[in-house]
Structure 1
């Protein structure tokens, strides 16, 4: 073996876990692209022939020191001298159940060999990969969207909480059904959030340190584990609360800062962030208070057994946290992430069984029927009722040049104001009824 013949450049993740693996598979299926992606164990392998000879009928052979991962050999037709080939379709066969059930990190060694047609080794190298338990994901420090995978709204124990919470809802507003955004009054939505909060308090959950870990990362307890063990940290409790809110049809928000975590929900079905994650704490604060009032935030440690379970105090504390303690602030739009390729991880059912099949919504085969009673007839309906909502709805949906919101001409009746911070200007407008522009 002459190592001067070839150069290898291997782009891979040296730390991997079940959550990242699941996201990689779903990303491929949703995008119908079987090339390796950001979440894949391998992104690509680049092989450069630095010799003066051409090589044909080569084989790239992979050998792990564990049966947890296997990669089939890859055939390479040829690599001419002074040329490169890039292999970006590397499909590891991973034992999903074994990866999911890891308790502590393990270290794997992978030997990669380039063989000629006679199975002689032309080049060989080794890499090391650390596999982590799903509750100890390393990539979440880079991609906060992956925290949404721990929010498991369809867990059978989360369903149990929601069923029990209907009794709490009845005490609050004399309703027993969770209607989520079918409620036209946001206070009814807040009442449902309060009912979940009060029900979780009865579970006698203790605020507890995270499980022991021999890594630098904090272990996360998923909702099922919190409900079984009756203990959790601030992030465990926030994830549990998000799961319950999403179960009843609300769109939850998970807030993570440097030293704390709490949760909330959008009070309007059509509100969402521009991306899966935002770090704009002032935006969240303004959406929670003042004129917008489109988000409800909740301090989840207030439903632990050493607190008074006062929902109103919990909301005020969360607002205070957003205003004052927002170092490292991240707000995750859980529902939007779940509608993309960040899916909830599987959990055990009542029979202690688990299904690792990746479930992605397929085509809709239910045809929505239309009313054919007046088929062929044109029925004119008029209405003189035009409220402000209808007026602005029409304005915002009008994309023609007659709409001044998108085709504003600066003439003598318009004033163009330049400012150095649009966010500060918006905050000022939200908190003040009037302002004055002085021309100097």
Structure 2
């Protein structure tokens, strides 16, 4: 913070506070308060705070069923006196809603829920199919070689196709603003799913059998796939360079799989056909390719799904609930909420993604370009 109040203001103890305000009952994020420091002389630079941290309060955010209008509030205090305040508009999406914008493709990884208990029967059936076809029920990921990788992916695909999921067209908002994404529990209980629903479901199952899932987003459509080797996991959360995508496909380092074709009826195709039908996006429809989301890299960068409730009782907003009651009351896309405040990435010792850190820092721009304090 630059001193805009002259020599008389120098030495004044100031401290900041950042929080989100809305009409929702309960805090959406944890409030952040910076340490007090002296306002420097006019010519001695600025007082700066970094490491601004406002973890999500999943007990509140995890149960939002519709978008909520909110404001990011940035306040500066001198002692106990509020001397300046700025408010920035913010829209908080429903817990199961994904915003369809190029800069948010990586957020799809948060909807891949490999620890959802709803997929346990699917994985059990996949192991049965592997045992019948190969004599081994093992889901060892890449340890079994290239042929085994494809066998695992096929067994998961076939186990999901046996669930008799009906394909549902996405709402019109998919091509514009965003789309709500169903959780594995909802897809498998209601037996219905869109292209995004089936993509994140297939990706979750692939991750649980030891493969590295990816999700492709193209114009008005999405489908899943897997990397040929765990050693080929990209350092980028999203690969959007078309030349790189063409090279990955041509060298068989990535294997796309159409997931709407595991649905029942006229949409159904077997696994080998599902691997073939999206090749057009690497040839005459390449211009429609938006990007490839590398799920594990997204998780490692801090874009993680909320933790799943354990079977034990957990204190919640409305008292103690079990996993089953949490799943019945939470909106689609949230299989359970465990922690009161959850900060993506920091739990695993990692920092949030760069665009998130940049956004947090911009909330408290205390330079001469964004004067919050003007002590006369």
Normalising to structure 2: TM-score of the pair? Answer: 0.72
**Following the alignment from structure 1 to structure 2, what is the Cα–Cα distance between the partners of residues 114 and 142?**
31
Classify 1:288/1:91 alpha carbon distance in 2 versus 1 (closer, same or farther; 3 Å): closer
2:156 to 176, 196, 205: 196
Aligned-pair distance for 1:165? 1.5
Answer yes or no: is 1:129 the counterpart of 2:86.
Answer: no
Map of 2:260 onto structure 1: 301
Map of 1:156 onto structure 2: 117
**Following the alignment from structure 2 to structure 1, what is the Cα–Cα distance between the partners of residues 185 and 49?**
40
Map of 1:322 onto structure 2: 282
2:299 to 334, 338, 358: 338
- Residue 100 of structure 2 contacts residue 178 of structure 2 at CA under 8 Å; is this kept in 1? no
Classify 1:221/1:141 alpha carbon distance in 2 versus 1 (closer, same or farther; 3 Å): farther
* Per-residue Cα deviation, 1:53-100 (whole angstroms, up to 9, x for no partner): 315133445674554145255453322453532222433364222111
Map of 1:58 onto structure 2: 14
1:228 to 176, 179, 189: 189
Map of 1:241 onto structure 2: 202
Aligned residues: 313
Query: Partner of 1:241: helix, strand, or coil?
Result: helix
* Structure with the largest fraction of helix: 2
Classify 1:130/1:309 alpha carbon distance in 2 versus 1 (closer, same or farther; 3 Å): same
Query: Partner of 1:165: helix, strand, or coil?
Result: helix
Aligned-pair distance for 1:230? 1.7
Aligned-pair distance for 1:159? 2.4
Map of 2:127 onto structure 1: 166
**Following the alignment from structure 1 to structure 2, what is the Cα–Cα distance between the partners of residues 93 and 110?**
13
Map of 2:70 onto structure 1: 108
Answer yes or no: is 1:99 the counterpart of 2:55.
Answer: no
**Following the alignment from structure 2 to structure 1, what is the Cα–Cα distance between the partners of residues 89 and 110?**
26
Answer yes or no: is 1:87 the counterpart of 2:49.
Answer: yes
Structure having the higher Rg: 1
- Residue 22 of structure 2 contacts residue 69 of structure 2 at CA under 8 Å; is this kept in 1? no
**Following the alignment from structure 1 to structure 2, what is the Cα–Cα distance between the partners of residues 339 and 65?**
31
Classify 1:173/1:89 alpha carbon distance in 2 versus 1 (closer, same or farther; 3 Å): closer
Aligned-pair distance for 1:257? 1.3
Structure with higher RCO (Cα < 8 A, 6+ apart): 2
Q: Which consecutive residues of structure 1, in runs of 5 or more, have no partner in the other structure?
A: 1-45, 363-440
Classify 1:137/1:49 alpha carbon distance in 2 versus 1 (closer, same or farther; 3 Å): farther
Q: Which moved more, 1:164-173 or 1:144-153?
A: 164-173
Normalising to structure 1: TM-score of the pair? Answer: 0.62
**Following the alignment from structure 2 to structure 1, what is the Cα–Cα distance between the partners of residues 55 and 148?**
48
Answer yes or no: is 1:356 the counterpart of 2:338.
Answer: yes
Q: Which consecutive residues of structure 2, in runs of 5 or more, have no partner in the other structure?
A: 312-322, 327-335, 350-376
Answer yes or no: is 1:49 the counterpart of 2:36.
Answer: no
Aligned-pair distance for 1:246? 0.9
Query: Partner of 1:122: helix, strand, or coil?
Result: strand
Q: Which moved more, 1:266-275 or 1:348-357?
A: 348-357
Aligned-pair distance for 1:48? 4.6
Aligned-pair distance for 1:176? 2.5
